[in-house]
Amino acid sequence: MNFDSAEFWVALLQIIGVNIVLSGDNAVVIALAARGLPAEQQKKAVAWGSGAAVVMRIVLTLAAVELLRLPYLKLVGAALLAYIAVKLLIPEAEEAGHGKVSTGMATAIRTILLADLVMSVDNVIAVAAAAKGNAVLLVIGLALSIPLVVFASRMLLGLMDRFPMIIVFGAALLGWVAGEMLIGDPVVKPTVDSSPGWLHYLVPAIAAAMVVAIGKLLAARVERAGVELTAVQGQVVPPASTAGSHRVVLAVDGSPGSLAAARYVAQLPARLPAGTPLEVDLVNVQRSVSGDVAAFVSPEALQGYHRERSDQALAPASAELEQARIGYTRHEFVGDPGRIIAAYATKQHAHEIVIGVRGLGTHTGAVVGSVAQGTLEHATVPVVVVT
């Protein structure tokens, strides 16, 4: 592959896409591993831990490139990459955290290093496969993955939350790369090369389509299995509604759409019949971290992480309601936002759910935002989607 060939630039775009999709969880582990340290040690732990992880990733990628030259290993790598792609689309169950509290900088650095070793296998295989043995592409892939892991992972995580279709496209891309890896194995390649040219595109396309279809199917089964309401600060059961009151579940995530929803609720008293009490449940649902992340952080760090993000998400709506002198009770949950919001409103006999048109999303959804869409799909009470 040369710089002036379309194949080179397609492979480069594949590497960039792979890095964007697979670098998100690393940021959470890095942040949580250093969370329990004094402020002056946190930056040092992140810098040293990330630096060591980068060196390890370079070594692993170089080793993967050499190993993938051997017969049958690309077949194994293709199967592993397809599995990773399908897993991207399946909502993770909430984990309580299985790691230990970081009591020193050495412990935090070791946690970051170990976590990256486990969590970067998919990234290493995908970059090595997309590079197709091209040294220039491999160097570019490594050069891109390093800053993404160290500096931009948190931003990418937020980007994927806000635009959940990135996950679907990323899973399809991994499926495509898996298909290319499959037909590139030394055992299969001679047969493929002697076949019509369209086969080189058909196999990756089928692999990408199958990854998305299987991932969506398994995700639907997980969602149908039900979700247990779990509050960040313990189970929250507010008092029963006052007779004759109007109860609203206001679901927020800190986005501009959530603020618009809060302003809608702040104006509700003027729309209700005179003398009707307004009861507001201000709800935020944090998405569960992946099982990979939970395996390396303590329950205390994980709970603190969810609580901090929930505080940030609830603050704008809380200020809006307080300014309008509207009373509210605040509730924080962890899990699938759409299902939890709908289930909570049903359980508390709410009269309506109010939600912004653009919220932080799960792995599905389109025009109205995945949280709003999920809420609409599962709600048994009226849902007001504020634009």
- Residues 260 and 212 occupy one common structural domain: no
Q: What is the pLDDT of residue 294?
A: 62
50 in a structural domain: yes
pTM equals 0.66
pLDDT > 70: percent of the chain: 66
182 in a structural domain: yes
As for how many domains the chain has, the answer is: 2
Range 157-186 average pLDDT: 79
328 in a structural domain: yes
- pLDDT at 234 exceeding the cut of 50: no
Q: Which of 90, 111, 56 is nearest to 171 (CA)?
A: 90
**In angstroms, what CA-CA distances link 349 with 9, 66, 222, 336?**
55, 61, 26, 20
CATH of the domain at 268: 3.40.50.620
pLDDT: which is higher, 228 or 275 = 275
Residue identified by tokens 């940030």 is 312
260 in a structural domain: yes
- pLDDT at 187 exceeding the cut of 60: yes
- Residues 139 and 251 occupy one common structural domain: no
41 in a structural domain: yes
- pLDDT at 170 exceeding the cut of 90: no
- Residues 14 and 147 occupy one common structural domain: yes
In this structure, are residues 299 and 97 in contact, taking their beta carbons and an 8 Å threshold?
yes
What domain range is 33 assigned to?
6-224
Q: What is the pLDDT of residue 105?
A: 66
In Å, the largest CA–CA distance within the chain is 81
- Residues 206 and 300 occupy one common structural domain: no
Range 179-203 average pLDDT: 84
**pLDDT, tens only, 292-310:** 666 666 777 778 888 888 8
- Residues 280 and 162 occupy one common structural domain: no
94: left (phi over 0), alpha (psi -120 to 50) or beta: beta
- Residues 26 and 153 occupy one common structural domain: yes
**pLDDT, tens only, 80-121:** 888 878 877 776 554 444 445 455 667 666 666 666 666 667
**pLDDT, tens only, 336-378:** 888 889 999 999 999 999 998 754 443 333 334 568 888 888 8
158 in a structural domain: yes
Q: What is the mean pLDDT of the chain?
A: 76
281-307 burial, b at 16+ Cβ within 10 Å, e below that, comes to bbbbbbbbbbebbbbbbbeebbbbbbe
251 in a structural domain: yes
Q: What is the pLDDT of residue 247?
A: 94
Give the Cα separation of 9 and 14 in Å (integer): 9
Fill in the DSSP letter of residue 185. Answer: S
275 in a structural domain: yes
Dihedral over alpha carbons 315, 229, 35, 84 (to 10 degrees): -120
pLDDT: which is higher, 97 or 52 = 52
**pLDDT, tens only, 64-89:** 777 777 888 888 888 888 887 887 77
Q: How confident is the model at residue 261 (pLDDT cuts 50, 70, 90)?
A: very high
- Residues 132 and 266 occupy one common structural domain: no
Q: Which of 27-36, 92-101, 180-189, 269-278 has the lowest mean pLDDT?
A: 92-101
- Residues 269 and 196 occupy one common structural domain: no
- Residues 266 and 220 occupy one common structural domain: no
- Residues 220 and 253 occupy one common structural domain: no
Q: Which of 99-113, 136-150, 236-250, 278-292 has the lowest mean pLDDT?
A: 99-113
